[in-house]
Structure 1
């Protein structure tokens, strides 16, 4: 039994790390909760094998090193999960033994990333993640990009700390996944992981573009005002401008609470955000004090988890799509079913290995569910025609007819033809996207139009476009055509890493492109570098290095790079080009500068060898402050960090 418990602890810890810290879960929330519950039952039955390191006695997350650490004044614990109404009634029996007069509040359990919002004298000073419950990450800069979070409160209380859940609305998540799929990037698995990854971005502008939102669901601490109950605190937080838990309801007894849990379950598909359960809390604060808490869970609240909804349907077709890198992705087409509130009829099948594993064939009866209640996925086969073998992907590209080949490093089949129409259109879309060359106005429809009409057969052709080339097409008046070509022209000034990322080299994302540009400085140097030299970059693996070397050894790619250079596209790194004036320095920007935009100031810092950070810490060298500087200025003064104006900053950049 001890061995079984130890193995189960290792398994739960592994999946907790992938969920909380890597934002890349391998199993569903429901499956993880079941494993955790199983471990709890075994530990309770065998207390002789108790361990202080068990995942049942600690919160799953850890404070990562990406941001400065924040020590929570009030522990941000987690809730015990229950999976049946009988378990809710057992919870009620335990509560009533200590507090017979207890009443409850029931509210939806938002599936997102838990954060603390700390206000001093009515001003938001720190926004932080839960981390391990005691120490989290300072994400104040990114928190401020979420418009629904108030920066100041009407009541200027000495201190107010609220706990909330940052989430990604379903519509924002679907847009993100669509863009990731267009770029042949690994799509986010569910809104919770997308929200967590977005909130941990180094660049607040990326966070701001992800459409995050928040619901505040708890008052952690308050000074200068007395509140007696949870429902009263939610009403008060709402009066201060916080978006509080939707449809919270006071219930006189557990049966009323159970009925509300059922109603929330029926409304799951109506919400514009994802929920993974309902929370039942004792309402009065004095009752909560009498009940107390365990090392991990409060005894006055539980979270009811809904099982994932699954339905059977008929697989009518399997369609294949060719991506930017030539990857051929199969998609299941099935008879429409209503699942988690929406009608679905398609699900990605990933690759041939996935199809073989499930022995899928057209005409099978299949079981569908929504991963994270959002993305449809094939769970299993309910009935398989014994006369049929598993579906096999085509041998030739459905777009250009080229012989498909299997990627030696991945379970992916690719079209090797770089001139394949499907790949070219996807490449144009990726090249123009925000993370790459960031050409405003070059969306999916425009890229498709340019290719279809023969105006852009490669990304180099974009830089040959003239306004009059576009004006004959519907929707392109002179002003719009001139605006688009001006945006294309401006992109010539972009940094080398943006060009590298935009070229769509296999296995090279934004971070890798920056490492490559910083190491070799020019496109010519990268083209001349050996695979061994590239693999010596800290953070590069053998597969990444091979992908870069193979890309630049291809004659078509060499010709494309020559064309881009001849057309005036920048092929040198702008980081540090002004010298090393700011080498080893970290700047934090706050407020509105008189003449410079944030991006312009950041570019000057980068060109002079420095770097920027979104939060103030002891490692900050200077805080560059403009008008209406907020909590970052306050924190800089508290830590004794030098604060400089724009004029002082520009003088420093010019002095050398």
Structure 2
């Protein structure tokens, strides 16, 4: 191949590969397979090596390899402003009122009237600000940190590892674009699985990657980014922020799906509540919302303070991570006999909740994070999940090591170390284990014994000497009447509920047994594939691995569970007292409109619970998913549908109301 032909082919391959990368990383909608992409990439690599013709925007230049000696300074062409921050909604109202007053004053004094106020609301990403410069040919020539707002650090090589960041765009005219480099939860977990030194949180993961001189380390973090502002532009000016965002999208920069128009403070308040409600479900961190005036003329009239633009403000959510002192560690016994550490903390406010306790997982986790009693630690809380210690914020001289117990803190039995966890094997006489096993057995997703609480289980263990699950079905009314707060009616209701539970679905029974790592979905999968209790008990390792979504760890747990003679005796005892689990195979309607379709359900439905709609859709041959993507065929939206509904609209996915769904079936 002639040199000129090779160069032409290189340019063609770069254009193709950059297009495919945008489809894959920004749109989540690849048009070719990974194998086909790799073949083209390999061809490009060979041609570049043969010719020495390497363009700065080639995808081969993304690969982080090598160590830089230092960071150099970069002077931004347009200043990166900080945002004024509101911690209360009253501050948002005050800001809005100032804007109204300024617009009214201008319109009173000038003929070229400003339009009515209109705001655009976006998420406030919690990562590291990125400022990318593109030259007159649309080639990215520089990426820098925010720094002082006027001078940042050159991180061009590090930014190129962000696969969603275009290295060349179709545009003539120099411009700078601002974005936020972030680390997703998936990238964070994948990194920490292999890393010797674990990352403490998503924000530090992103910031540390871009400020790391070792490019291989940066590439390992697998960062993402969202772009949201053109800070300097030598091309045509934008008339509105919506126009600017349209430009950003058209130039193939990754942007967030969420962007809302608000015309008053009531609109803003609704969006604050909505974003706060979905915050924990996002796979990246945000710490608030950003509210900006849409019209560019109005922005120019309002202008700036020394620090902030007057036409924008950030509303900050309450922190999900903070620091506090680790006072002590207590050890608690779980249903499986696992003895786990719980951190006792100096009480601290986190997201509007006073946090006093946090999980520490196990001794391996404690050693890896170097957590000691007396240290100040990072504590993170997500939704209603128990807070977790993420790492050490400050090591103090008087801090002391955490020592694992050698005996069960409840019954005194000697503990066994299995893998990273300690276990008490005294399953019959260890109160916490037995009580929690009984509570789980009677729970709604399991045997559904109505009115059966942990308090009742504790009383049955202590006062009626209930030591096995089958003892539940031998209870007498006079025994219940001796329990605290049990009258005749309550005792009879509980006995009736226990009797009713004997006729149960096999999946509920399997779940009720408490097999390690087997939730309700896996229990259903076992029943669907193996059809009977005997089939599940006798299933081989290969039989289990052949079931979709059952991996090696779960298969091993199931085999070990049904190999235990004590467990098999307990199951036989339950069957002997009349427990009768049954499996009725559901016939899938192969004429259904939902056959082989991927369906997502969001919001509250009137006629179905979440379990019922999932069962119904599976009976119709559908695959039920929890996330919306280009591969989703339908979204069924009930009342108060959230971010999944918004994403479905942005992707053009068919949305069905509950009534439309019922009509179709």
* TM-score for the superposition, normalised by structure 2: 0.51
1:218 paired residue number: 260
Cα deviation code 1:130-189 (max 9, x no counterpart) = xx879x9xxxxxxxxxxxxxxxxxxxxxxxxxx6xxxxxxxxxxxxxxxxxxxxxxxxxx
2:263 paired residue number: 231
In 2, the alpha carbon distance for the partners of 1:9 and 1:101 equals 28
CA contact (8 A) 1:470 1:481 kept: yes
Residues 1:7 and 1:324: Cα distance change in structure 2 (over 3 Å) = farther
SS across alignment from 1:427 = helix
In 2, the alpha carbon distance for the partners of 1:597 and 1:392 equals 45
1:508 correspondence with 2:518: yes
CA contact (8 A) 2:320 2:350 kept: no
1:564 correspondence with 2:574: yes
1:282 correspondence with 2:435: no
Q: Which structure ranks higher in relative contact order (CA pairs < 8 Å, sequence separation ≥ 6)? A: 1
SS across alignment from 2:580 = coil
CA contact (8 A) 1:496 1:573 kept: yes
Residues 1:415 and 1:302: Cα distance change in structure 2 (over 3 Å) = farther
Residues 1:436 and 1:424: Cα distance change in structure 2 (over 3 Å) = same
Compute the displacement of 1:329 (Å). Answer: 0.7
Residues 1:290 and 1:521: Cα distance change in structure 2 (over 3 Å) = farther
1:366 correspondence with 2:376: yes
Compute the displacement of 1:35 (Å). Answer: 5.3
Per mean C-alpha deviation after superposition, the further-off stretch among 368-377 and 2-11 is 2-11
Per mean C-alpha deviation after superposition, the further-off stretch among 492-501 and 369-378 is 369-378
Compute the displacement of 1:532 (Å). Answer: 3.2
SS across alignment from 2:444 = coil
Over the aligned positions, Cα root-mean-square deviation in angstroms equals 5.4
In 2, the alpha carbon distance for the partners of 1:599 and 1:560 equals 29
1:414 paired residue number: 423
SS across alignment from 1:281 = strand
CA contact (8 A) 1:429 1:442 kept: yes
2:449 paired residue number: 439
2:391 paired residue number: 379
Compute the displacement of 1:459 (Å). Answer: 2.2
Correspondences of 1:257-336 after superposition (within 5 Å): 276-285=286-295, 310-313=322-325, 315-336=326-347
Residues 1:30 and 1:401: Cα distance change in structure 2 (over 3 Å) = same
Compute the displacement of 1:321 (Å). Answer: 0.4
2:204 paired residue number: 31
1:424 paired residue number: 434
Cα deviation code 1:175-230 (max 9, x no counterpart) = xxxxxxxxxxxxxxxxxxxxxxxxxxxxxxxxxxxxxxxxxx824xxxxxxxxxx3
Cα deviation code 1:320-352 (max 9, x no counterpart) = 001111111112224444556554433322111
In 1, the alpha carbon distance for the partners of 2:352 and 2:658 equals 46
2:488 paired residue number: 478
CA contact (8 A) 2:240 2:294 kept: no
1:401 correspondence with 2:412: yes
In 2, the alpha carbon distance for the partners of 1:311 and 1:393 equals 24
Compute the displacement of 1:463 (Å). Answer: 2.2
CA contact (8 A) 1:367 1:380 kept: yes
Compute the displacement of 1:572 (Å). Answer: 3.0
1:110 paired residue number: none
Residues 1:354 and 1:599: Cα distance change in structure 2 (over 3 Å) = closer
Correspondences of 1:494-505 after superposition (within 5 Å): 494-505=504-515
SS across alignment from 2:290 = strand
1:75 paired residue number: none
* TM-score for the superposition, normalised by structure 1: 0.52
2:129 paired residue number: none
Residues 1:635 and 1:416: Cα distance change in structure 2 (over 3 Å) = same
Residues 1:7 and 1:488: Cα distance change in structure 2 (over 3 Å) = farther
CA contact (8 A) 1:79 1:303 kept: no
2:24 paired residue number: none
2:356 paired residue number: 345
Residues 1:376 and 1:603: Cα distance change in structure 2 (over 3 Å) = closer
Unaligned runs of 5+ in 2: 1-62, 66-156, 165-179, 194-198, 242-253, 302-310, 635-654
Unaligned runs of 5+ in 1: 44-50, 60-77, 81-89, 103-131, 137-162, 164-216, 220-229, 249-263, 269-273, 292-299, 621-629, 645-656
SS across alignment from 1:245 = helix
Rg comparison, structure with higher value: 2
Residues 1:336 and 1:450: Cα distance change in structure 2 (over 3 Å) = same
1:574 paired residue number: 584
1:5 correspondence with 2:158: yes
2:113 paired residue number: none
SS across alignment from 2:491 = helix
SS across alignment from 1:483 = helix
In 2, the alpha carbon distance for the partners of 1:452 and 1:494 equals 28
In 2, the alpha carbon distance for the partners of 1:372 and 1:325 equals 25
1:523 correspondence with 2:541: no
